[in-house]
Amino acid sequence: MQMDEYCLGSQAVWLDGELLPATLVIRGGVIESVLSRDGAAPAGLPLLDLGEAWILPGMVDTQVHFREPGFPEKEDLESGSRAAVAGGMTAFLEMPNTKPLTVDEASLADKVARATGRCWCDFGFFMGATEENAHRLHELEVLPGCCGVKIFMGSSTGSLLLADDDGLRRALSHGHSRVAVHAEDEGRLRQLKAALEQADHPRWHPRLRDPECARLAVSRLLEASETTGRAVHILHMTSAEEMELLRALPKGVLGGRVSAELTPQHLLLEAPACYEELGWRAVMNPPIREAIHREALWEALREGSIHILGSDHAPHTVEEKGRPYPTAPSGMPGTETMLPLMMDQVLRGRLGLNRLVALLAEEPARLFGISGKGRVAPGMRADFTVVDPGREWAVDEALLQSRCGWSPFHGQRLRGKVSHTIVRGQVVYENGRFATEAKGRPLDFDHAH
Ligand code: DOR
């Protein structure tokens, strides 16, 4: 089908918070108009009729590590974006801990060039903050293809780090867009590592990076955000203590100057069982924690204290992950399973569809200033995530697109399946098949928003 001008319809299109029958007129990658289902479509335009499928606003994975350049044995931009679109993602924001690190003009331009026309969806790249570039982040964050700045407060994979308050404040003082932060306290991490030398199994992981690591970093970050007035986005929060810190913020700050992310794995896996059953597959930073924390995350999610779900897709090879704890790298893949896992929760009645659409489409667009995304409405980009709510299936790691070839959710039975992923009007993924050509390009960001 000629995909430049056509009509797209179903019995269930997400329009202003409801699933309604509708037909969308798509021209030049943009939604031109929204028509009622029984009205006549413009003459001559082909109709792609998706029956009962749910046509949702195009979803965005705002936290992925696609490993290019530097680690092609784990993933690259092509394979990572293939996994993303198979999981219903219409765009991704990628992290700077590649090799070389994304910390200046040249490393960013290199990533944009590698991704353009090779990725299956559109993209933005984070600029990593370092002691060296902190004073000129305001110039770097507005470069084409840059979605903002990323700070690591505690060391994880790679060498990016701003461990002390001076560095943190300096980075936050240079620029305007929302800064994404990995908040684990480096000082506390080092103390625990020295004190727990005997830690020799993944079950130690939540103690080596304990809730206090997270609480300390988040409280230091909130203070730095308040002093500098800079908006911050706290990535992959994991503990009841952090949820309390969010709740204690003055009205209007949460969802404004401060936004928060959870991952599906912190909501769905639980210590200690995950470490006993999954071993190295469950190891990531910050760690999967015990039931009391998981329940606090669900409560915060339901009450609206959380704004975004991100996958923290962080693939490593089976061979690397199989090394003895704690020498094996932390991280797990997830961009292909994030929406399916959470849609399953929606279909089992544990989360509202309106919350899921907010967490994966509306809030990513609002908080990162992504132009044209977040809603199905005239004038918006024709980006859609389409789900067949009637299908049941099981995650099979042999069939996943990520190069790493494994998933902690292997074997999980899920309700609801991604049937189509549509980017700027082009069907890039349909029931296991990909378009003939990848046409990904940089997203446009409104950095002044
Ligand atoms: O577990 C993790 N893995 N956490 C991070 O912060 C980085 C990531 C990676 O890049 O492997």
Residue 120: how many other CB atoms lie within 10 Å: 30
Query: Percentage of the chain surpassing pLDDT 90?
Result: 94
Region 99-117: mean pLDDT is 98
pLDDT at residue number 3: 75
The residue whose CA has the least distance to atom 3 of ligand 1 is 331
Residue 320: how many other CB atoms lie within 10 Å: 17
Region 386-399: mean pLDDT is 98
CA of 333 to the centre of ligand 1 (A): 10
**CATH superfamily label, 57-367:** Metal-dependent hydrolases (3.20.20.140)
The pLDDT-based confidence of 158 (bands split at 50, 70, 90) is: low
* Side chain identity, residue 91: A
Pick the catalytic residue from 76, 312, 344, 383: 312
> Mean pLDDT over all residues of the chain?
96
pLDDT at residue number 271: 98
Torsion on CA atoms 345, 347, 351, 356, rounded to nearest 10: 90
**Structural domain spans, the chain:** 5-55+379-434, 57-367
pTM exceeding 0.95: yes
Helix (H) or strand (E) holding 64: strand 59-64
For residue range 282-309, list pLDDT tens digits in order. 999 999 999 999 999 999 999 999 999 9
Q: Do domains 5-55+379-434 and 57-367 have the same CATH topology?
A: no
Q: pLDDT at residue 262 above 90? A: yes
Q: Is the dihedral of CA 333, 339, 345, 351 positive or negative?
A: positive
Q: pLDDT at residue 412 above 70? A: yes
Ligand 1 atom closest to residue 330's alpha carbon, by position in its atom list: 1
pLDDT at residue number 219: 98
**Tokens (6 digits) for 384:** 């859609």
**CATH superfamily label, 5-55+379-434:** Urease, subunit C, domain 1 (2.30.40.10)
pLDDT at residue number 1: 53
Region 363-375: mean pLDDT is 98
Contacts of 59 (CB under 8 A, 6+ apart): 88, 89, 90, 339, 360, 361, 364, 385
Region 328-338: mean pLDDT is 98
Ligand 1 proximal residues by C-beta, below 6 Å? 65, 97, 156-157, 182, 284-285, 314, 329-331
- HSE-CB of 284 using CA atoms within 13 angstroms: 30
**Tokens (6 digits) for 42:** 């413009």
| Alpha-carbon gap, residue 149 to 172, rounded angstroms | 9
Give the residue with greater pLDDT, 448 vs 28.
28
pLDDT at residue number 2: 52
pLDDT at residue number 155: 83
For residue range 347-368, list pLDDT tens digits in order. 999 999 999 999 999 999 999 9
CA of 72 to the centre of ligand 1 (A): 16
Q: Is 185 a catalytic residue?
A: no
